[in-house]
Amino acid sequence: MKTEKQVETAANAEKRPFGIRDSLAYAAGDLGCNMSFALKGTMALFWTQVMGMGLWYSLLLIIVQVWDAINDPLIGSMVDADKRKYKRNKFLQYIWVGSIGLIVGGACCFLPFPSAPVWAKFIIFIAGYVIWDAFYTVANVPYGSLLSLISDKPADRASLSAWRSIGSMIGNMLPMVILPMIIYNADETLNGNMVFVAALIMGVLGFICFQFMIRNTTIRVDTEIRCNEDQPKFNVFEAMGNFVKNRPAVGATLAAMGMFVGMQGAATAVSVVFQIYFKNTAISGVVQLFAMIPIVVFTPLARKMVVKYGKKELSVVGAICSIIGGLGLFIITPDNTGLDLLIYIVCQLVYSLGLGIYSTVSWAMMGDAIDYNEWKTGKREEGIVYSLHSFFRKLAQGIGPAVALVIMNSLGYVNNAVDPVTGEAFIDVTLLSFDVAVNLRWLVAVLFLVAAVMQFVGLALIYNLDKKTMDKMNAELAARRVAE
């Protein structure tokens, strides 16, 4: 009679080999996430220019991060502690639940009621954000954890990470290119009703992407914890302590926070720069799409380059490229000539080259950080490790835009215009001076450079899984699993 271990080994051997189907499915998952998440860059514009919240928005954004602080680790630890049997896999089951909520979750953040009292706007924003963030976390935390379970081979993980970057890129490209053409009025002002409709459509598209991923994902790494009387109960505080001592997780998290300081913190400033500095919102999406070219070029090379050079080594080179591009953004020509836009585009290309190198391996680095936690502590805690990583990423995504908006206001972004019909205050970008536009152009350069420096510190100085250490860790973990 076969033992339980022999039955599991035979079952794993029957699973289909890793291939392009896995990569496409994993890419579809991040495409689904970004169908909801990509609109977050529009949130500051919506709540300041349509809903007239001004500095109140910065305060509200910081307040909802308290929910993030509870939400991410809570759901991550809940996933780790869940020992129930599911038809497919517990991670896929949680993703399925989250994908349903995200159909309307994103739209809840863009309910267009500009004439509502201030207290009502507070409730609309906080309730909408909490609903969206809860379902996003339920889908995103298990999704991120899946990478370490689909395959334990470095090359396969590099492929998954690279394809996730493609899914993320497409998920950002579609809103980036299409939204500016449909959510702005002819006078470059924002149309709140169209933002709400766009959010609903993107929620449905995200649900479709998640369903494709769920139906085409195969789990190959057996990490199930068997319950017995000697099995210690999951301890969330111990798991958090392990995360703090996990250098790869901390380094990768700092780098990701830096990336989002640039992407999300500068997003509002970039949008306003194209509104009042370059005076061309329609082209903003095309310019940002053009900056994605380096990511597209590097992605097919990621798998071979990771095998040859290592993820840490490649990502550090990418961070250096981003620093060079960030420094170039400080070159501003007088009177906003066509040359200025050309310089901006070229520097964005250089910056994005570095970002592309890092982003294609970033998720594989977190998968390795999960393995590192098991290597050092003997415990696999996918949910809590990834959820804390996700928490700090979302902290950067929230605090970054909030701080950027406060700085923008100090530079003259707020002008307290009043709607002659409703009497409501709002921000009229047509009244902003060119001097304000120039100041915001400088702010964009500062934010991108700070982001690149944070990436370099996290990847070069803290993250410690170089190619040699990775080989040692994988060999020892493989030996442990065979012996079990």
Contact 326, 348 (CB under 8 A): no
Vertex 24, ends 172 and 163: CA angle to 5°? 55
**Which residue bears the tokens 């809860």?**
134
Report how far residue 393's alpha carbon sits from residue 398's, in angstroms, rounded to the nearest whole number. 9
Task: Show the tokens assigned to 117.
Answer: 């009292």
Q: In this predicted structure, what is the pLDDT of residue 35?
A: 80
Quote the pLDDT of residue 455. Answer: 92
**Smallest Cα–Cα separation from 132: which of 96, 108, 97, 99?**
108
Walk along the chain (484 residues) and give the pLDDT tens digit of each residue. 444 444 444 445 567 788 888 889 998 888 888 887 777 767 777 887 788 776 677 777 777 766 766 676 677 677 767 777 777 778 888 888 888 888 888 888 888 888 888 888 888 888 888 888 888 888 887 887 787 788 878 778 778 877 887 787 777 777 766 777 777 776 667 777 888 888 888 888 889 999 999 888 888 776 554 333 444 454 556 667 777 788 988 998 899 888 877 777 777 788 778 877 877 766 776 776 666 776 677 767 777 787 788 888 888 998 999 999 999 999 887 666 678 888 888 888 888 888 878 877 887 788 788 888 888 887 776 667 777 787 787 777 767 777 787 788 788 776 555 455 555 545 566 666 778 888 888 898 999 999 999 999 999 999 988 888 888 888 888 887 676 6
Mean pLDDT of the chain: 77
Q: What per-residue confidence (pLDDT) applies to 119? A: 85
pLDDT at residue 327, as a whole number: 93
Place of tokens 């996700």: 390
The pTM (predicted TM-score) of the whole model is: 0.64
In eight-state DSSP terms, residue 465 is -
In this prediction, residue 181 carries a pLDDT of: 74
* pLDDT at res. 429: 63
What integer pLDDT is reported at residue 55 of this predicted model? Answer: 67
Q: Residue 324's pLDDT is what?
A: 93
- Report how far residue 205's alpha carbon sits from residue 137's, in angstroms, rounded to the nearest whole number: 18
As a whole number of Å, the end-to-end CA separation of the chain is: 19
pLDDT tens digits for 328-378?
999 887 666 678 888 888 888 888 888 878 877 887 788 788 888 888 887
**What pLDDT does 319 receive?**
92
The DSSP bridge partners found for residue 418 are 425
Contacts of 331 (CB under 8 A, 6+ apart): 343, 347
The residue whose two tokens read 């509870």 is: 70
Cα separation, 290 vs 357, in Å, equals 16
Q: Return the closest-CA partner of residue 157 out of 172, 145, 173.
A: 145
Q: Are 182 and 104 in contact (CB under 8 A)?
A: no
For 418, the 3-state DSSP assignment is: strand
